[in-house]
Amino acid sequence: MVRAGDAGSEVVVVRRARYDDWALPKGHVERGESWAEAALREVEEETGVVAEVTGDARPVTYLLGDGQPKVVVFFPMRVVEYGTPPSGDEIDDVEWWPLDRAVSDLSYPADRALIEGVAAAPGP
């Protein structure tokens, strides 16, 4: 999810204590959910932000540490309402980063590449 910040566009990122990483919010599709419904639920659960999908799915494929392929489907979103990030064991910090920082500092190449594409895309 990207928003307008004081110095340009910003993306929401989460720090996951278990992995000691910074990543884009993501999770699993629950039974009966669409990819978009799962994405909205996971963003709200991990960041406290209620959002709406504003564009087409952007699937990302990468290999897990054990060599198994993983597919994550991201959606462009806009903020509908800011809430308080939930406290819990999974996420220990939520921040909004400028796109250039996300491209350089996110922990995973697939996340960085996705944001690099967002940064290179023409605005509305």
Instruction: Enumerate the domain spans of the chain.
Output: 2-120
Residue 3 near residue 10 (C-beta atoms within 8 A):
yes
- Under the banding of pLDDT at 50, 70 and 90, the label for residue 76 is very high
Residue 114 near residue 107 (C-beta atoms within 8 A):
no
Positive or negative: CA dihedral 122, 9, 55, 111: positive
- 21-50 as b/e: b if 16+ CB within 10 A: ebbbbbeeeeeeeebbebbbebbbebbbbe
- Under the banding of pLDDT at 50, 70 and 90, the label for residue 122 is low
Instruction: Using alpha carbons only, give the angle 16, 17, 22 rounded to the nearest 5 degrees.
Output: 40
Q: What is the mean pLDDT of the chain?
A: 91
Q: Which top CATH class is 2-120? A: alpha beta
Which amino acid, residue 101? Answer: R
User: 99 CB contacts (<8 Å, ≥6 apart)?
Assistant: 2, 8, 9, 10, 11, 115, 118, 119
Q: Residue 121 carries which DSSP code?
A: S
Instruction: Using alpha carbons only, give the angle 42, 43, 49 rounded to the nearest 5 degrees.
Output: 140
> pTM of the prediction?
0.89
- Under the banding of pLDDT at 50, 70 and 90, the label for residue 51 is very high
Q: pLDDT (tens digit, 9 = 90+) per residue, 52-70?
A: 999 999 999 988 889 999 9
